[in-house]
């Protein structure tokens, strides 16, 4: 006997009306518990929402661009029995979680490095968890100031012993992020084995391109599909320059060209002079509020009818 239950948005903190930027499942697809089903993006970060159940997706009630809050319905899933799961085509990947009995010399303390800013720093995302196996250069957390977001990579491979920070905490350069047991530590360890089943039909989602929320938003504004862009940063991560280069190299593609022209709100016009003619110049970053409001003001000027009414009166 089958049972159908709702997939809903879990507790996402104080955020409401968060935009859906990706849907990672499709109808009639078999999924595992804790498998990502949608990706949400706020002004500061993006997060995958996992499935609370294992089973077969019956229907999907949302689409890309919808805004959701905690408790909103995502879709319906037919719960899977043990027999159904055993009959599915799967491959077993063994994850060994090492529980340590080690000395302090085998532990690396991950700290916030120098970021070239003196502004107040806030932890916007923690991307690791206790007892997780991480690799060298894997992103462990996102730190933000008023204008920029900084990714903090791990300098070593190993197991996360404990995490010193929490989301939303104010930090400074040199603060500890986590303690990591070095993978090369020659210590006596216990290795309980956890078998993770990965469905072959879900392999397509393992190749989703890596990019920060800021870059994903930039790509959407220009109508660029990130899956077509080759990243030049570490581990293929996509940068803003990669998107610009992709657009430049594909301007002869009529479909892409029309989409980009449609998405761009403003056009840069060449000035009749060069700023250097008047003396030495320096480039400064535009404050966040001006940076966000500027394109909208230009769009309003170009698209909204501006009418002024005059009445003649005798005074």
Handedness of CA 49, 64, 204, 83 (dihedral sign): positive
Given a contact cutoff of 8 angstroms between Cβ atoms, the answer to whether 151 and 142 are in contact is: yes
Local confidence pLDDT in tens for the 315 residues of the chain: 577 888 888 887 777 888 898 888 989 888 888 888 988 887 767 788 888 888 889 999 999 889 988 889 999 998 866 534 444 444 444 444 444 444 555 788 888 888 777 788 888 888 888 888 888 888 888 888 877 778 888 888 888 888 988 888 888 888 888 888 886 544 444 444 444 444 444 444 445 567 777 888 888 888 788 878 888 887 788 888 998 888 888 766 655 556 555 555 444 566 777 878 888 888 888 888 888 888 888 888 878 877 777 777 787
The full set of domains in the chain, from first to last, is 4-88 (2.40.50.100), 98-191 (2.40.50.100), 209-304 (4.10.320.10)
Task: Single out the residue of 214, 202, 205, 199 nearest to residue 149, CA to CA.
Answer: 214
DSSP 190: B
Whole-prediction pTM value?
Answer: 0.30
Given a contact cutoff of 8 angstroms between Cβ atoms, the answer to whether 7 and 18 are in contact is: no
d(CA 80, CA 86): 10
Query: How is residue 43 written in tokens?
Result: 């002004």
Q: Is 280 left (phi over 0), alpha (psi -120 to 50) or beta?
A: beta
d(CA 185, CA 171): 30
d(CA 143, CA 146): 11
Which residue, chain included where needed, has tokens 């599909």?
225
d(CA 51, CA 202): 14
């Amino acid at each position: 006997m089958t049972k159908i239950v709702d997939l809903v948005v879990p507790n996402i903190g104080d955020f409401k009306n968060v935009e859906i930027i990706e849907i990672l499942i499709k109808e009639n697809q078999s999924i595992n518990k804790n498998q990502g089903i949608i990706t949400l993006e706020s002004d500061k970060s993006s997060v995958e929402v996992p499935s609370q159940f294992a089973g077969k997706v019956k229907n999907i009630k949302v689409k890309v661009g919808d805004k959701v809050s905690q408790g909103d319905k995502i879709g319906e899933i037919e719960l899977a029995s043990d027999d159904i799961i055993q009959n599915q085509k799967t491959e077993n990947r063994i994850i060994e979680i090492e529980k340590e009995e080690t000395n302090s010399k085998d532990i690396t303390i991950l700290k916030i490095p120098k970021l070239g800013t003196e502004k107040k720093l806030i932890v916007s995302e923690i991307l690791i968890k206790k007892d997780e196996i991480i690799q060298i250069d894997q992103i462990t957390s996102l730190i933000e100031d008023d204008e920029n977001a900084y990714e903090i990579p791990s300098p070593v491979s190993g197991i996360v012993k404990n995490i010193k920070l929490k989301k939303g905490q104010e930090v400074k350069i040199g603060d500890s992020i986590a303690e990591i047991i070095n993978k090369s530590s020659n210590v006596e360890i216990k290795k309980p084995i956890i078998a993770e089943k990965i469905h072959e039909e879900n392999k397509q989602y393992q190749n989703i391109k890596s990019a920060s929320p800021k870059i994903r938003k930039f790509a959407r504004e220009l109508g660029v599909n990130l899956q077509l862009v080759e990243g030049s940063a570490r581990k293929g991560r996509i940068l803003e320059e990669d998107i610009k280069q992709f657009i430049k190299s594909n301007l002869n593609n009529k479909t892409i060209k029309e989409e980009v022209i449609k998405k761009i709100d403003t056009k840069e016009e060449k000035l009749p002079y060069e700023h250097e003619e008047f003396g030495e110049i320096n480039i400064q970053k535009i404050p966040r509020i001006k940076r966000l409001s500027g394109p909208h003001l230009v769009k309003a000027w170009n698209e909204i009818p501006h009418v002024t009414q005059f009445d003649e009166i005798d005074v």
